[in-house]
Amino acid sequence: MSERPPRAELFVRSLAPTDARDQQEQVVERLRTLDAEGRVSTLDVRLCGECVCPESVTAETEPGRRLLDRYEAFRQWADERGRELVGFEERDTKSLLTGSRVTGIVFPRIVLAEYRDGDLTHVTPSRNGTERTSVSDRLDAL
């Protein structure tokens, strides 16, 4: 019996520069093709801004909470598998609302998360030691 195709959740930065936007659009098109072919069961595309700050008012919103929850799930997934997330960074920044310094989490320009039966099964970009897996690599594998 073949394994059920994964549900794909793609995160793209809404403020990505033009050169990254082309890559994002290519990935979305590839995922749509995989979805149409039944190799991905569902495709959700999520936009994320430059960063999300856990101590900010925006973290209390549904989109902010979702991003923070996903980031924590991604970190846990990587820790459990001996992998390292690539392109995520924590950055000190000044809150535009309060003027205070906060630490924000910056997502890479494009992130692919895969789920099977509700469980997170893969996150890219990530690496296992020196072996790096990109979003494009995972799309090829699907």
pTM of the model: 0.88
Distance CA 124, CA 110 (A): 9
**Is 64 within a domain?**
yes
Residue 93 falls within a domain, yes or no?
A: yes
Q: What mean pLDDT value characterizes the chain?
A: 87
Count up the domains in the chain and report the number: 1
- 10-47 pLDDT tens trace: 999 865 566 777 888 889 899 999 999 999 988 899 88
Residue 67 domain-assigned?
A: yes
74 falls within a domain: yes
For residue 35, being part of any structural domain is answered with yes
DSSP classification of residue 107: P
Q: What is the SS3 assignment for 7?
A: strand
Contacts of 76 (CB under 8 A, 6+ apart): none
Domain of 36, in residue numbers = 7-141
Measured distance CA(51)–CA(61) in Å, rounded:
14
* Rounded alpha-carbon distances, angstroms, from residue 17 to 20, 36, 93, 95, 109: 6, 28, 20, 22, 9
Question: Per-residue pLDDT tens for 78-137?
Answer: 999 999 999 999 888 776 666 777 788 999 989 999 999 999 999 999 999 889 999 999
Evaluate whether residue 2 is within a structural domain: no
Residue 126 is assigned to a structural domain of this protein: yes
